[in-house]
Structure 1
Amino acid sequence: MQEWTSLINNFLEQIDFESYDAFYANFKINIPENFNFVYDVVDRYAREQPEKKALVWCNDDGEENIFTFADLKYYSEKAANLFSEYGIKKGDVVKLTLKGRYEFWICILGLHRIGAIALPGTHMLTTRDLKYRIE
């Protein structure tokens, strides 16, 4: 638990509260000006605890994939490179739909890594829904 509190203390002024009212009155998140979840959280864990479990993905068929923070760093860097090769850059909005796949999370991290904005959506979106979101 020590490593978690070390990281969380970078972003929260207080993590223990005596009551809900105290929490409600005093909870504050400190978000650094150039905060990027991938660099500030995922990559930090990849440096400090590379083998720490970060993502467990399972499907209805019993298939399971376990990713460490080192894995997420590696695969999100590969995804970021691929997105960059396709011309995606900081500030671009990318519609992302991968039905129940672990690759969805890797792509989200890859997009965040290059500063692109992920626009997630379910596979159940209609043409009208997609058009609305894209416009």
Structure 2
Amino acid sequence: MDIVGGQNLRQMWDDLAEVYGNKTALIFESSEGVVRQFSYASLNEEINRTANLFLASGIQKGDNVALHLDNCPEFFFCWFGLAKIGAIMVPINARLLREESA
């Protein structure tokens, strides 16, 4: 099943941002009850900004990058930012104790 029509994730997010623009793409509520909303356009901007930060730090296509974050929008930005540059996100469970993750 080809759900993105043969596109890569970079093309898919760019197209979604163009087509859906200011429509809501992501709603996140923190454990403190703080709600953050992102439109397709703003989400794509955050993903691109994050991808550029990874590139500027020397991360390249094919690199494995450990991601140790709690459930938050920044996890999403990092995940898709890495995908946009062709790097591989390796999620690390943020609830593991130090000795469990070694």
Q: Same fold (TM over 0.5)?
A: yes
Give RMSD over aligned pairs.
2.1
What SS does the corresponding residue of 1:55 show, helix, strand or coil? strand
Q: Equivalents in 2 of 1:37, 1:122: separation in Å?
A: 24
Q: Which has the higher strand share?
A: 2
Higher relative contact order (CA 8 A, sep 6+): 2
2:87 is aligned with 1:119: no
Count of residues in correspondence between the two structures:
102
Establish whether residue 70 from structure 1 lines up as the match of residue 41 from structure 2.
yes
- Structure 1 gaps, min length 5: 1-28
Are 2:63 and 1:92 aligned?
yes
- Kindly report structure 1 stretches of 4+ aligned residues shifted beyond 4 Å: none
CA offsets per residue over residues 7-29 of structure 1, 9 Å max, x none?
Answer: xxxxxxxxxxxxxxxxxxxxxx1
TM-score by length of 1: 0.67
AA of the residue aligned to 2:34 = E
Give the C-alpha shift of residue 120 in structure 1: 1.2
2:74 aligns to what?
Answer: 103
In structure 2, what is the Cα distance between the partners aligned to 1:54 and 1:110? 16
Larger radius of gyration: 1
Compute the displacement of 1:31 (Å).
6.8
Q: TM-score, normalised by structure 2?
A: 0.86
Residue ranges of structure 2 left out of the alignment (5+ in a row): none
